[in-house]
Structure 1
């Protein structure tokens, strides 16, 4: 698949506004546990996502920032009032699919049904139009060229579904680092999660486990590199369960999964507070609109 990368950046006054996002899923819905906790067991487990999202909303309000909440349809179906609260607080509600199935496990017809189902639930619960999508586990890659076609045909404006790095669970290392238009006939924009350049190589620097495990100084350096050297906005994400050190443990999960999932949960909230106060942040739909405008300028 060929892409039209968006190489140039607009001239801006003041700090670049970065994209802040939350992947709304509960502690048992993560990729690390997908082989040890069945979907049929989810409703019997402790639901903690609502309390965690409320804490995040308080943090964003304190910092006076707006963000995008990429939310599972499964969560929205059970927490309609929370969806309305997100929207009423001025944040964007976007789709994370229905139940966190990786996109490359679908065919196009299955994917179409998944995003249609999730969007219907999100819009019915919140009363807001959903125009953004993020694939669970950043699972867009060279195996899923039809995914962009389906998003465009269903009227989505943007996707943030690519991690342009090599990783054992996800990654599309050949993809552009910054926003690109995946389809020549559509205005749909893909906005990859942030990477930085270290020693001539791309490194993941957009949040999640990397932010939680590595020193805060690494993320500060990476975001500054993207803002100052590349003159582009960073795209940062995290999960509600990452600020919840009291969540249940899954003792039968692989040790590698447990290490990734539980390391530094008690340090995440203070690091997030520092991050949201240090940099300028905004919603992903606003960022997508700006990036699409750059593409139009370059094409003119």
Structure 2
């Protein structure tokens, strides 16, 4: 069996970046119109360059789940990601949530995004992450479409309860959603606290909560569950100088802007403390593990 461990027995966790700009987030989807995006300041390129430098300093590789919309307008940064040895994967075209599509619309979205990403990066795209972890029990056709389009893995499920997303009944760790396909789903990390699942895979939870919480959660997953963690964040989260959306709801502002000035340093600590790798490598190992468990 292909183990999630390195040759010395250390578990290799999955490190990922959801590449979208400050105005494309779910928190602002009801106050910033998609039709206005092209008139807003693009900050994603500079932020991705900072992240690439941070990863280089820690000697880690990651997966960049990137919007086709971003790749179409910033092909140079896509080439930088690939040239530095990271995986290029799909985050859909323009951050549309999967449960807002029907199957035909979803098929068109992931096909368009993949075409743009592969053209910009010059590499095959085999991984997908749904915007806002929006694959759930409402979208049984999503995995069928991903498999039919040749994707090897998805990391599109948050197996928790959340007001923006969540599939509480989903497994906590990698699973095969289709009996006839090798496609593997790798959910974002959760930990068990007081007998309940809690989100512990990055994003706003990592930025807002003390670093000690993430350290505890990843250690729980690695040591008690003996499984790799899956961590994600966004380029805008290391950008405290980004424009403010004045007409956004207070709750959205708190989620989006809290601790932006502390995020980069927390990331440096995280990437140096644990072992990290690309999601495609993790997916390959998890698929092999699933085959052995089924044998």
- Normalising by structure 2, report the TM-score: 0.98
Structure-2 residue corresponding to 1:54: 49
The whole-number CA distance in structure 1 between the counterparts of 2:102 and 2:243 is 34
Q: Give the alignment partner of residue 111 of structure 1, picking from 83, 97, 106.
A: 106
Q: 1:166-221 CA distances to partner (integer Å, 9 max, x unpaired)?
A: 00000000000000000000000000000000000000000000000000000000
1:19–1:233 contact (8 Å) kept in structure 2: yes
Q: 1:92-143 CA distances to partner (integer Å, 9 max, x unpaired)?
A: 0000000001000000000000000000000000101000000000001100
Structure-2 residue corresponding to 1:210: 205
For this pair of structures, how many residues does the alignment match?
293
- Pairing 1:92-131 to 2, within 5 Å after superposition: 92-131=87-126
The whole-number CA distance in structure 2 between the counterparts of 1:18 and 1:82 is 25
Structure-2 residue corresponding to 1:249: 244
Structure-1 residue corresponding to 2:214: 219
2:187 equivalent to 1:161: no
- Pairing 1:58-207 to 2, within 5 Å after superposition: 58-207=53-202
**CA separation of 1:89/1:221 partners in 2, compared to 1, >3 Å: closer, same or farther?**
same
The whole-number CA distance in structure 2 between the counterparts of 1:121 and 1:146 is 23
SS in 1 for 2:261: helix
Once the two structures are TM-superposed, the CA of residue 15 in structure 1 deviates from its matched residue by 1.3
SS in 2 for 1:266: coil
2:62–2:87 contact (8 Å) kept in structure 1: yes
Structure-2 residue corresponding to 1:45: 40
Once the two structures are TM-superposed, the CA of residue 10 in structure 1 deviates from its matched residue by 6.2
Once the two structures are TM-superposed, the CA of residue 14 in structure 1 deviates from its matched residue by 2.6
The whole-number CA distance in structure 1 between the counterparts of 2:120 and 2:238 is 25
Once the two structures are TM-superposed, the CA of residue 299 in structure 1 deviates from its matched residue by 1.8
**CA separation of 1:11/1:69 partners in 2, compared to 1, >3 Å: closer, same or farther?**
closer
Once the two structures are TM-superposed, the CA of residue 11 in structure 1 deviates from its matched residue by 6.9
Structure-1 residue corresponding to 2:294: 299
CA RMSD of aligned residues (A): 1.1
1:32–1:261 contact (8 Å) kept in structure 2: yes
2:257 equivalent to 1:268: no
* Runs of 4+ with >2 A deviation: 8-14
Structure-1 residue corresponding to 2:226: 231
Where structure 1 has 5 or more consecutive residues not aligned to the other structure, the ranges are 1-7
The whole-number CA distance in structure 1 between the counterparts of 2:226 and 2:38 is 45
Q: 1:74-102 CA distances to partner (integer Å, 9 max, x unpaired)?
A: 00001111101100100000000000010
The whole-number CA distance in structure 2 between the counterparts of 1:270 and 1:197 is 26
SS in 2 for 1:203: strand
